[in-house]
Structure formats: structure tokens, C-alpha cells
With several copies, the nearest count.
Chain A
Amino acid sequence: MTANRGMGEAAAPYTADEMMTVAASRELRDGAVCFVGIGLPSEAANLARATHAPGCVLIYESGTVGAKPDVLPLSIGDGVLAAHADSVVSVPEIFNYWLQAGRVDVGFLGAAQVDRFGNINTTVVGDYQHPKVRLPGAGGAPEIAASAREVIIMLRHKRRAFVERLSFVTSVGHGAGGGSRDDLGYPGAGPTVLITDLGVLRPDPETRELTLVALHPGATVEGAREATGWNLKVADDPGTTEPPTERELELLRDLKARTEAARGGSTRGTET
């Protein structure tokens, strides 16, 4: 469990991770077709489905369309994803007929590193041929970032994750900013929001640079700047995120408890 970093001394009745997940879940509108990564994105999307967006259609890259997991999947192809899905299709179909075809409203992505334009690295830290850290690689992220109508990124706010320059661009956000993403010819609009455990960042309408527009309760601009590896742009008057409601917290904890029980008490992280 992440400590309540940056949330002040008065212990909040929720963790920073919970705030992050709740804030992300609220971004998903009911009825949206949502392409979901495992871990935090899956947690947020399923919380949305349990709260305000029961009609959203969750797609996992294993080919499940309209997945309705009762516990959080540990892998992208868990049986719970197929069990009550509207349909299960092949992997080529999910990427070609659904994602590339423009049928996905929202792509929900995690990351290892992000830069100020929402470009994502999940490949290597350091040199590609002789990496300091070899990460899992691209998976479905590049094409989710390319073709989903919009992208929501979730990432814990840390200096080594929010970097001035990515070691490797695995998935394109707003490229070099401005109109550079459009020049690449991708149909989707790119990242429209980055939710961290400290606050909410949205791209500037002109430069497309991610800008801190809201802080979670207890988080500070200074804390956010410190946890960012570039000179963080902050909105003139950043708002404050509405704290999790009792219902949101209850449903989220319920979901996680059910998940742990189903996994035989495993408490290992769910992020990949």
C-alpha cells in the first residue's frame, strides 16, 4: 500500500492510491467503450463500472469485449474477463476491428515513465542495447495511445517516473507538443488527462504540455513539483479534487477485498 505521501499530517480516511483510483474512475463516462490495461487502470475502470458507469464496455487486449469481472484480473487474460463478457474475439480482431477501427472511446494506460507531453516509456531505462532496467515492453500500449479517441494515464507521482526525457518512447502522447501528434496521422486525440496520487494533469490546449490543474486533498504544488523531473507547469488556480465518497471507498475496498480473497490471500501488486 502506498504511504499517504504529500497528504499532510491529518491522516485521511483513505490512501493516496485510493484517491488516485477514485479520481481516475470519475473520468470514465457511462456507456463509454474503454480499452483497459491491467493494474491501476483496471481497478479504476471497474470502480467506475460499479459506481456511475454501469453501462461502460470494458475491453481487455486478450479479446474480451464488455468484460464484467467480479474480481480484479491479475492478468490480461484471466478467466473472469471472459466469463460474463458480451463477446470474446481473437487478438488480431481486438486490435484491428476494435482499437484500430476507432471503436474505443477511452484508452486507460499505466506507464513506467512519462514525459511532459504524455509520451510513455514501458521498454527500457538506460540504453536499449545495454539497459539499466529492462521493462516488459510495448504490449498493447502503442496502438491504444494511437487509436483510442482519448487516453487516460495513471501513474504514481515520482521523480524517476516523471522524467525530462524518456529513455525510450514506447507510446506516443502529444509527441513534441503543439500539433506534432496530428502530424503523425494518428486518429485518436491522445492523453486528455494524467491522474497521479497527488493530483490531476491535463494538456495545455495550445502547447499540449501536461499542466497540473487539480491537487488531491492534502497534496501541495510544492510536493508535486518535487516529484516531477521537469519544470512542472501549474494552472493559475489549481482546484482540489473532491475526496472519495463513502460509497466510492466502500465499493473500491470491497472490490479489492473480493479480489484478494479470490487470489488466495495474495497481496502482491497488480501493476504490470
Chain B
Amino acid sequence: MAEVTDLREAVAGLVHDGDAVALEGFTHLIPTAAAHEIIRQGRKDLTLIRMTPDLIYDQMIGMGCARKLVFSWGGNPGVGSLHRFRDAIENDWPVPLEIEEHSHAGMANRYVAGASNLPFAVLRGYVGTDLPKVTSTIAPVTCPFTGEELMAVPALNPDVSIIHAQQADSRGNVAIWGISGIQKEAALSARRAIATVEEVVEELTPHPFQIVLPAVVFDAVAVEPKGAHPSYADGYYDRDNVFYEAWDPIGRDREAFRSWMEQHVLGTENFGEYFRSVRGEGMVAK
């Protein structure tokens, strides 16, 4: 049953060096506050799993938290490249980064298999592409009824998954509405799960396209207002496109990146302080 706790304790207790960690959120509800807390606590050798590594994984990779990345699309959406990600792959900086690369459909089905306690998932894909040449976790499987050959991908079962949601209720049930992406499967496939939420409400009320993840899914629920910035939380705040663009020149330069991270992330105690710090620099859209 989920314990409402603070994020620092949740990360300290549930995320360990060397863990396979999934922070999910498909453009919407990206768990930035949790990523920063992992950076602050100096986690190392993580296998980072995420369909769309974006600013948070760029930052974690640039800060040397990761030894491996499992992903399907790595860019700064609407802006361009993730420069820390590219620098790690192209130049091994700050440490070498192993990659395991899939398509979105492959990643999504790997989470589904993991959430279902199955060792693999089946899909129509990959055949004729170069992905099987560079990614070992793709293999053919034959239908025992029709003889047809399809592709299999192994389950993802992260040691810990972290998602950001709009609300938890007083019992710890977690609600996401709007685009919920792969968060359900990310949380359910993991050995341990953490949710950060915008707020705790007494009772959940229906919202369009809402899903509710029961309290028993989570080991910890922490309140982190604005915790998905610069992505958005439907009903709370919009995507901060200005920040995504402002990130480009910072991420592009190793020194600019280090000093930005030291000032705003390592130099702050929590996400609230961080947010005031970057807002003070005009990086946040009004």
C-alpha cells in the first residue's frame, strides 16, 4: 500500500545504484522532480529505461548517473537533439553509455509483457529494418496455430518505475487524465513504484480519459507541485515550450551544462527551490 512520503525519502529508500529505472510520461506528466532527486542523491550505474528520453534523461546522462539507456526515440521534442545524450554516445562523456534501441511499439509491448509477468511479447515489426542487427533483444517466434513467424521482444521489469500524476486521493489511489501514455504499464511492470503527484485530494472526481492506479501499485506517493515542468499536467499547467528551447544551448555545452546543473539542481534542496531558481533566471514561461 502506498505511503505518502517525501520524494527524498522515497528515492533514498527505493532507488539504488545499479538499478534499472524507468521514468515514464509520454510528453505529458514527465517526472522531472523525481529525476532531479535521483541526480541530487548521486545515483550511479543506472540502466535508464524510457520510450522518449528527453530533458530529464539528458540531464541524468550528462551527470553520469547512467551506464545504459533502453529507449525508442531520443530527442528534444520540437527543438532538436539531446546534446548530452549524443555526447555520451558519440564521445563517451562523461562516461560510456551502452544503448538498447527499440521502436515505440516494441518498447510499449515490452512493458505490457512485464506488467503481465510474461517473459516476452509478440508484435508485427522489425522485419527488414536494421534494428535486429544492433539490438539483441529482438527474436523471431512462430505461431503454434498458423505457423506464421512474428517478432518477439523480452519483457521489461524495471527495479523501480517512477511516474508523475495529477492527483492521489486520501487512500493513495493515483489518478491520471488526458494522455496517460505508457505509465500504467511502466508502474505495473516494476518491482517497486513511486508516484509523484500535483496534489492529494480527499476523493477523486471523474475527468476526461482518466485512469486510476490503485494505491497497492505504489510503494511511495509524494506530492511535488509542478513536478512535471517543463512538460505539462493537464488541468494544472501547460507545456513550457520556452524552457525546452532554452535547454538547447545549455545542453549543447559541457561546461554550461555542468554549471547549470550545479547551480539549479545540486545547489537546491528540492524541486520547489529548483523551480524558483530557474524561474529567477527567466527560463520559465510566465
Residues on A facing B (Cβ under 8 Å): 31, 33, 38, 55, 57, 61-66, 74-79, 81-82, 85-88, 90-92, 95-97, 99-103, 123, 128, 130-131, 134, 136-143, 146-147, 168-172, 175, 181, 184-187, 263-264, 266, 268-270, 272
Contacts and interface: CB of A to CB of B under 8 A. Distances in A.
Contacts of B75: 136-137, 272
What is the size category of the interface that chain B forms with chain A?
35 or more
Given A57-B214, A172-B128, A131 B1 contact: no
17 contacts: A57-B216, A62-B181, A63-B179, A74-B241, A77-B179, A79-B239, A82-B209, A82-B234, A95-B105, A100-B118, A137-B73, A138-B103, A140-B105, A146-B124, A184-B128, A266-B241, A266-B242
A123 to B, nearest CB: 7
B227 interface: no
B26 A77 contact: yes
A167 B280 CA distance: 44
A268 B108 contact: no
Contacts of A55: 1
A214 to B, nearest CB: 29
A160 B78 CA distance: 22
A107 B98 CA distance: 31
Contact of B90 (A82, A130, A143): A130
Interface stretch (B35-43, B129-137, B252-260): B129-137
A137 B149 CA distance: 25
A205 to B, nearest CB: 21
A8 to B, nearest CB: 31
Ranked nearest first, the 7 interchain pairs of A and B with the lowest CB-CB distance are A77-B27, A74-B78, A136-B75, A139-B73, A75-B77, A88-B209, A96-B116
Nearest to A78: B239
A88 B171 contact: no
Interface string B161-186: 00000000001010000111110110
B89 A92 contact: no
State the majority secondary structure of interface residues on B.
Answer: loop
Contacts of B180: 63, 88, 90
A136 B149 CA distance: 29
A134 B90 contact: yes
B201 interface: no
Contacts of B89: 131, 134
Given A62-B26, A75-B78, A134-B86, A96 B115 contact: yes
Contacts of A138: 72-73, 101-104, 129, 131
A137 B101 contact: yes
Contacts of B212: 86-87
B126 interface: yes
B179 A142 contact: no
Contacts of B242: 264, 266
A97 B115 contact: yes
